[in-house]
Amino acid sequence: MKFPRFRMLAPGLMLALAVALAGAAFAQQAPATPPLPPRPTLIDAPVPPPPSFDAKSWVLMDYATGRILASKDPEKRVVPASITKIMTDYVVSAEIAAGKVGLNDKVYISKHAWQAGGAGTDGSTSFLKVNSQVPLKDLLYGMIIQSGNDAAIALAEHVAGSESAFADLMNAYAKQLGMTGTHYSNASGYPVPDHYTTARDVAVLSRALIHNFPADYAISKIKEFTWDGITQHNRNTLLWRDPSVDGIKTGHTKEAGYCLAASAKRGNQRLIAVVMGATTERGRADDAQALLNYGFRFYETHDVYPAGKALSTPRLWKGEADALPIGLASPAVVTIPRGQYKQLKPVMDIPDPLIAPFSKGQKIGTLRITLHGKTVLEQPLVALADAPEGGFFARLWDTILLWFHHGKDDKASS
C-alpha cells in the first residue's frame, strides 16, 4: 500500500505557522479591550463661595481694580489696634513726598512718646530712649517692622507738632481716600472710644499705600529689624509661610482681637486680604492665607486695553482733520473669574456726529466691558489729540455733508 507523499517544510517555516495559528486562536478567545471613556467637558461653574471664618469682619480686594471679591461685614465698625500704623505710615510718606520732612531728619523722642509707647507699656515698642534723637528712616523701620508705638508717636510729633494734630492729618487723608467708616484719634492704635475703622477702609488704604508709595511699602516685607542692639521680628507670619506675601501690617489688643492686612503678588496679579478681630494670632494668618489662596485660585487679572492707543478713529466733522483718535487715559484692567476672558464683550459708546473742536484728554464717550450681561468695567474714552476747528470752507462743506448724513440716517430709521 502506497501512502501519499508529503513535502517536508523547513523547520523555521513550521515554527512561524504554529505561532500564527496559536495567535489566531488566542485572538478568538481573548476579550476585547474596553474603549477609553470620553474626555470630560469642563463645566463652566460659578465661582464657589469663599471660606468662612469666625473673625469679626474681613475683605478680599483685587489690587488692580479695587474690586472687593469676597467679604464679611466689610462696613462693620471695628477697633483697628496697630493696623492704625498703615495710615501713620501713609501720612509720613505723603509728607516726605511733599518735601516737608526727610528720611535723614533727626527726630526727638519726647517724654510722651516714651511714656505712651515705650518699654513701660503693655504694647509693642522699639525701645527708644527719652530725649534721644533718632533718624526718621529708622523710626519708620521700627514702626512698620517692629510695630513700635513709641516710633509711631515720635513720627507723628515730628510731622505735625503733636499727636492730636497728626490725627487731624490722618482723618484728612482718610477722607481724601474715601474711607467713609474710619476715624483716628492717635497714631499708634492705642484703644480710645473715638478710634475706629472698617475692613473695607483698611483695604482701600492698603491699596493706596502700595500704589502711591511703593518704596515705603517695601519696608513691610522685611522680616526683622535691629535697633540699639535689640532685634525684633516682623509679626506678619505670612512672610515666612508664603513667598508671594510682601506686607502689610498686624494689630492686636484685647478689644480688637487679632488683625492682619496682608498683600501678595503672584504673576501679574496682586490681592489684598484684611482680617479684623480673629480670635488667635495663628487664626488671623490662616484666615488671610485662605482668602489669598481663594482669590488667586478662582480669579485672574487681565490688561484688556493699554492707555494712549487709539481704539477707534471716528469721523470728525468741521475740523482740520477728518478723523479723531479716541482711546483711554489709563489702562483698562479687569479681574474676572478664571477662564472667562473669552466671554468678555467690549462696547464703545461714542456720540455721532463728532463736531470739532476737541482738546486732548477731553472725554468723548465710554468704554463698557460686560461679562454674561453684567458690567465689569466702565471707563471714559478720551481724545488722544487736539482737534481744532477747520477753516471756513471746510466747516461749510461739512455742514452740507452733515445734512445729507442725517437725512440718510433718518431714512434708515424710518
Report, as residue numbers or ranges, the catalytic residues.
Answer: 82, 85, 147
**Single-letter code of the amino acid located at 79:** V
With b for 16 or more beta-carbon neighbours within 10 A and e for fewer, the 33-57 pattern comes to: eeeeeeeeeeeeeeeeebeebebbb
Tell me the C-alpha distance between 207 and 177, whole Å: 10
DSSP secondary structure letters along 147-168: --HHHHHHHHHHHHSSHHHHHH
Q: Does a cis peptide bond (omega within 30 degrees of 0) precede residue 353?
A: yes
DSSP secondary structure letters along 240-252: HH-TTEEEEEEEE
Give the start-end residues of each E strand in 189-343.
Answer: 224-227, 230-233, 245-253, 257-266, 269-278, 299-305, 316-317, 326-327, 332-337
Count CB-CB contacts under 10 A for residue 374: 6
Written as nine digits, the cell of 33 is 479591550
Residues 389 and 356 sit within 8 Å (Cβ to Cβ): yes
3-class state of residue 266 by DSSP: strand
Residues 144 and 89 sit within 8 Å (Cβ to Cβ): yes
Smallest Cα–Cα separation from 312: which of 323, 322, 304? 323
